[in-house]
Amino acid sequence: MDAAVEYGTGRGRVWGAVLPGVVAALVLGVGGCAAADGPAAPAPGTSGTAEPRASAALVEVAVSGGFAGVDNRLAVAEDGSWTSRSRSGEVRTGRMTAGELAALRAALEDPAYARVPEEPSGRTVADGFRYTVTYHDRAVVAGDDGRPAALQRVFDALPGGGPPTAP
């Protein structure tokens, strides 16, 4: 007897007809995970708008506030690839050169950066930005006023020359 009919209900017939397609999609989907040389092309029938994934994060920067009310994120991976996401949903990606990545690592590993306070000590700037930098499970929060030099060196070494502040 046919597997679709064997279930004996309408629901069984549907699953009997759909199950082979689901299994094929899963098998084909797993096969597409083998490529590690770069971003894979979108799967057939998809728009390719899925959120990009990077390798393990080296540093993450969140920017909020400002006159336009931004809520942006920047993640730089250990391999130098980066993803920037704005509040509007715009996603940009890129890869730092070896020299740029080395400069960012040096700024993050500078003993002076380890002494940057975790909370801002300056006054709050009206319509200013609030920056949260996470490195090695330590979050440093800063504003636009009184930014320590060691934190500014990290900002200067980020892709695009600083945290993503554009709306």
pLDDT in tens, 97-151: 999 999 999 999 999 999 999 887 766 677 788 899 999 999 999 988 878 999 9
pLDDT recorded at residue 20? 43
pLDDT recorded at residue 101? 97
Tokens in use for 118? 């975790």
Cα–Cα distance, 109 to 37 (Å, whole number): 28
pLDDT recorded at residue 52? 43
Is 56 or 17 the better-scoring residue by pLDDT?
56
pLDDT recorded at residue 6? 39
**β-sheet with 70-77: strand ranges across:** 91-95, 81-85, 70-77, 57-65, 129-135, 138-142
Contacts of 144 by beta carbon, 8 Å cutoff, 6+ apart: 125, 128, 129
pLDDT recorded at residue 17? 42
- pTM for this model (two decimals): 0.64
- The residue type of 69 is G
pLDDT band, very low/low/confident/very high, at 55 (cuts 50, 70, 90): low
Indicate whether 53 pLDDT > 90: no
Chain centroid offset of residue 75 CA: 5
